[in-house]
Amino acid sequence: MPSNFRILFVFWMMLWQLPAFAVNVPASNIHVTAKTCRSLDIKWSRGDGQLCMVTCRRASSEIAFPNDGWQYFPDFRFGFGSDLGNENFCIFTGLDSAISIRNLEENTKYVIEIFEFDYNPFVYLWSKAPSLTDSTHWFKSTVNVLVLDSCKKRNQVYFKASATASFNLSGTEWQFPWKSYSGNGITTRMEYSGENSFSYHSLPNLGCSAQIQRDTVYIIPGADSARIITDNAICTGEPEEIHGEIFFGIVPKTAFTRTWIYEDGTQSNILKLYRYHTNPGKYGISLIIRSLLDDKFTGCRDTFYREYTVLKATPLDLGPDTCVSRGGYLKLNSPVAADKYLWDYQGISNKYYVTDTGYHYLTITDNQGCHSTDSIHVDYCAPVSNSTNFLNKEQSYYYTTDGMLHWQNNKESRSEIYIYLTDGRLLQNLSCEAKYNISVSLNQGVYVIRQPGFANQKIIIP
C-alpha cells in the first residue's frame, strides 16, 4: 500500500475509535494571513467538532451546505475537491486550523466557509458556520518600446512601463537573454538583428499572469553586417564565384536586395556573381545591400568594396586528337609540369594510359593554386588491311573534285565505306544504297578509304 494511503487509512481508523458526541461550537476568528494573485492563506480557531471542513466558492455562486452522513474529499486546489453543489468545493478536512487555497483566479472574490463536524457518523454543524469573503490580488501594466536607430545591428532601444496593482510594488525588472535591468524606463542596445525577446517583471512576484510580460522587439538588420566573399585563389581561365553574405543570416520578415557594380559601372542584381577573367591583375567589385521589411524598403543601405588579385594560370594544351589501336593502349603525357595532376578524376601522375575511346580530361594545379583543364579525343586507329583485293571500279567507283569526294555504288546491294585521316582516326562512315551514288564534302588533303573485303585506298582531295 502506498505510504500516503497507509497514513490516511491509519488516520481514519484512529478517528473511528474516537467517542461520538454532538458538535455544538463552531469555528471562529477566520481571517486571511497572506494572498497572491492565485492563492489565499487562511487561519481560524477550531470549534468542538472531531474534524472541520473548509469549503470555497466564488462570490457569484450560491452557498451549498454539507449533507449529514456524506463524506466529502478535499483538495487544496480550487475545483479539484468534492463539489457540495453550485461549485462549493471541498478544500480541506482534518484537525489543522491553517491552510493555503490554491488554483484561484486573479482579481476574483471568493467566499470561504468552515464546518465543524463529527465523524462516525458524519454530522455537520452548518447553521453557525463562519464565513470569510476576500479577493485575490491583481496587476496591470503597459509596455512601450521605441527603436531609436533601425539601421544598425546593435540598435539603441528605449523601454518604458507603467504598472498598477492591488498590492504595493517594490520594483520592476527587465530581462533580456544577455542582461537584466531594473527600473520602469530603460535604454539598452539589442545584441542581434531580427526579433529580440524580452520580459517585464513586477516585484514582488505574486503570480499574476500580467505580472510577467513577454514580448519581442524587431530590429531591422543593418547592411553593416554583410561581407563580400571570394575564393582563395582567383585565376585566369576559370569562372570565379563571388557572393555577398549577410553575416547574421536572413531574419524573419526581412529580405535584402543586392546590387553588384563592376569596374566599368555595369550592374547586376543576382544573388551570386560569376566572373571570368582572361587577364591577370588587380580587380575590384562593389556590393550595395538594402534591407526590406515586409516588402518595403527601410532605408537601411550600405556599400562594400572588395579588391582582389587575379593570378595567371599555367596554360595547358594536350595537342591534337589522336587514336589508340584496338586491344592496345596509348600513353598520354602532361605537356607542362605542375604540383598536382588529375586525369579523368582518377589518374594523379603526369602520365596516363588509356585503352578506350572518347574524351579524356586533364586538370592540373600549379604552385599558385590555379587550375587549368584541357581534353583530348581518342578514337580507334584504322585497322591494317590483310586483303589483297583492290577496289573493283565495276562495283565501287571513286573520283574527286575540289573539296568533294564522289562515290558510285554499282553493286546490287547496299555498301558501306569508312573514311580515315592518315593518322588512323575515323572521320566518317558512309552508307550507299544499291546502284546509287553520293557525294561528301572534305577538306583539302590526303585520306584513306576502307571498304570491307578490299584493301585500303588513299585519295587526295584537291
Among 70-74, 330-334, 398-402, name the most confident range.
70-74
Length of the chain: 462
* Top-confidence residue, 102 or 235: 102
Domain containing 242 equals 226-306
- 281 in the same domain as 402: no
Count how many domains the chain has.
5
pLDDT at 208: 82
227 versus 220: the higher-pLDDT residue is 220
In a domain, 312, yes or no: no
Indicate if 25 and 127 belong to the same structural domain. Answer: yes
114 Cβ neighbours under 8 A, 6+ residues apart:
26, 27, 30, 44, 52, 53, 54, 55, 129, 130, 131
Q: Grid coordinates standing for 242?
A: 563571388
Residues 299 and 230 occupy one common structural domain: yes
- Rounded CA separation 349/64 (Å): 98
* Residue 13 burial (CB count, 10 A): 9
Start-to-end CA distance of the chain, whole Å, equals 114
Structure confidence by residue, pLDDT tens digits, 41-80: 999 999 999 999 999 999 999 999 999 999 999 999 999 9
- What digits encode the pLDDT tens for the residues 430-448? 888 888 888 888 888 888 8
Is residue 253, in this structure, part of any structural domain at all?
Answer: yes
Per the model's pLDDT, the better-predicted residue between 350 and 242 turns out to be 350
Domain termination site, one of 135, 157, 179: 135
For the stretch 71-77, contacts whose Cβ atoms lie closer than 8 Å and that sit 24 or more positions apart, written own/partner, are: 71/122, 76/100, 76/101, 76/102, 77/102, 77/103
For residue 252, is the peptide bond before it cis, meaning its omega torsion is within 30 degrees of 0? no
What is the CATH classification number for the domain harbouring 183? Answer: 2.60.40
Query: Above 50 in pLDDT, residue 10?
Result: no
Residue 233 lies in a domain: yes
CATH of the domain at 268: 2.60.40.10
Domain end (from 306, 330, 358): 306
Per-residue pLDDT, 195: 74
How does strand 322-324 pair with strand 371-380? parallel
Nearest to 309 by CA among 243, 261, 370: 370
The three grid cell numbers given for residue 42, joined into one nine-digit string: 487562511
Q: Could you report the per-residue pLDDT of 350-386, keeping only the tens digit for each?
A: 889 888 888 999 999 888 888 888 998 888 776 544 4
CA 91, chain centre distance (Å) = 50
Does residue 113 share a domain with residue 37?
Answer: yes
Q: Are residues 52 and 152 in the same domain?
A: no
Same domain? 7 vs 62: yes
State residue 140's pLDDT score.
85
